[in-house]
Chains A and B, each alone.
Chain A
Amino acid sequence: MSIALSPAVPAGTTTRKRAGMPPMVVFALCWIVAMLVVAAAVQWLSPYSYTALDLRARLQPPVFMGGSWRHVLGTDELGRDVLARLLYSIRLSLLIAFGATLIGAAVGTLLGFLAAHLRGFVEQVVLALADFQASMPFLILALSVLAFFGSSLTLLVCLLGLHGWERYARISRGLAISAGAQGYAAAVKQLGASPWRVYGRHVLPNIASTLIVSMTLAFPEIILLESGLSFLGLGVQPPETSLGNMVGYGREYLTRAPWILLSPASIIVLTTLSVSMLGDWLRDRLDPTLR
């Protein structure tokens, strides 16, 4: 999966649209905003608690499949409201993905800067680790760590944070080296600025747009990884619930109650699709390496 979204697509280079956003991107943006609103306001939006049981209304179909308005999206095998679980799942899945993306970006950028600043041995080690990371299927590495430590939310976020760090490291190393060759970084250094100041205040803002684009491209991959691990029962553990988790448990009731899994599945697809479209569009607009 780590390779899926990374091609430096030159497609947009010649036909890049300058004026306005394409309607698909507007839709994607609206969807992302809606998801963020849901995640922030889940306490007020959710009709029930995500663990509340309604044992007299188990496996009830959603409204449009002949159910009642009490449970708009139906209920699961324990009579828990699917809509309430869905809203809480959106929040947890987004939180994990955000946390992991930020960790990946921070670790990767830091290592990239270290490699660019110290060069020599440190740089070789960072590059070798990046090669290693890129050449192993991440899911297998993640699964082996989970086998040794068991699953917990903190571990899951840190683990997913390691996904894609090598891309940030390569980008920030390359850009920091070329920034060093340009006058401004050297000038600030001559003025006596500490390395922290040179990289934090001068180099980082100059490469931020590229890093932000990488983050929007990594974000959907992390959502997919988390949902995949949770689907396998090795990610988010009950009673907490995430989108992949709901699909995994809903699978048991595929024939009798397909609605349990269809709503989280469509949320996963729409969200990853929206963020990837936004990321592609941002890359075409912002990424200076493509111009």
Chain B
Amino acid sequence: MLRFLSIRLLRAALTIGLVVTFAFIVLRMSGDPALLIMSADAPPEAVAAFRKAWGLDEPLWNQYLSYFGAILHGDLGQSMRDGRPAIELVAERIPATLALTVPALILKIGIGIPAGIFAALHRNSFLDRAVMITAVAGFTVPSFVLGLLLVLVFAVQLGWLPSGGQDGWRHAILPIITMGAGGAAVLARFTRSAMLEVLGQPYIRTASAKGVSWRAVVRHHALPNAAIPTVTIVGFMVGSLLAGAVVVESVFSWPGVGRLLVVAVANRDLAVVQCILLLVAATMVTANIVVDLLYGFLDPRLRSGVKA
């Protein structure tokens, strides 16, 4: 178990390292930061002084190491827009984003998984078809289209709900439904296929043949085995809690991390973008570790066998 955990942690560190490297390479490839920040007609001495001050005259390898070091110390740079630390700007947006993504996640799990199990157990019935058609439609309709349609119907035509902004719980309803619908569709499809695969296994037939009631077969033999692929997808959804709302927040002008990212990208506010990138990587990696630990809990065979 300890070895399992340490390998996982090592991999997690590797992933974070890759993200940092990715950010560094992209940053350096996009041009000389000195020329990017200083105006084009700045005197050459000023540019040289700037390079020296920021260590840009050192070999690339040293720059990379000091860049890495700064990030390890939590120094993620300052926003080019208002000079505040990027991490502060991002942190104050997190609650707003979670206010949307957590209820949306509950909606996804609460609708998607039961719908998928139901569809698998009533395979090829009319309801199975209906669930699956809804599910396919659910993820081929992009969230911005669904969001705008909901606004058109419920805000513009019926006038029941506000169309955007963040001012009380009524403003959160449409964005949560928009986000939840697509995710529920994905989960329903995954759960259904996982269940169908498990239901076709010999041990299900064996259990039935022993005279175990169908209800018990489903509860004790099918569901735990089908949980493994489903947990992977839920883990991915948990990992994107912080930044999974980029498009939806933009549709509804919701002041969360996703909206901040879009604005920062449009303004080329590199420190903020990089901070969000690292934050997303960190949450994703943490969610992956939790999923791996859950695998061990769900499937005893995976506990000892460490497959790299």
Contacts and interface: CB of A to CB of B under 8 A. Distances in A.
Contacts of B276: 140
B19 A136 contact: yes
Nearest to A251: B148
Given A4-B186, A15-B124, A255-B156, 17 more contacts: A10-B200, A11-B193, A129-B18, A132-B19, A135-B15, A135-B285, A140-B276, A148-B30, A220-B140, A228-B143, A228-B247, A231-B250, A244-B144, A247-B148, A254-B163, A269-B142, A272-B142
Interface string B117-146: 000000010000000000011011111110
Contacts of A261: 148
Contacts, number: 144
Given A10-B200, A15-B124, A143-B261, A149 B30 contact: yes
A255 to B, nearest CB: 5
A234 B136 contact: no
A198 interface: no
A275 to B, nearest CB: 9
Interface in B9-60: 11, 14-15, 18-19, 22-23, 26-27, 29-30
Interface of B, helix, strand, loop or mixed by DSSP = helix
Contacts of A137: 239-240, 243-244, 280, 284
A10 B261 contact: no
Interface residues of A, number: 52
A276 interface: yes
A148 B264 CA distance: 10
B280 A136 contact: yes
Contacts of B264: 147
A151 B266 CA distance: 10
Nearest to B144: A231
A232 B200 contact: no
Given A7-B189, A148-B27, A269 B197 contact: no
Interface of B: 11, 14-15, 18-19, 22-23, 26-27, 29-30, 124, 136-137, 139-145, 148-149, 151-152, 156, 163, 186, 189-190, 192-194, 196-197, 200, 229, 233, 236, 239-240, 243-244, 246-247, 250-251, 261-262, 264-266, 268-270, 273-274, 276-277, 280-281, 284-285, 288
Contact of A143 (B142, B149, B265, B284): B265
B203 to A, nearest CB: 16
Nearest to A258: B152
B265 A247 contact: no
Residue among B26, B148, B229, B268 facing the most chain A CB atoms (10 A cut-off) = B148
A11 B192 contact: yes
Contact of B229 (A7, A148, A227, A251): A7
Contact of B26 (A15, A131, A148): A148
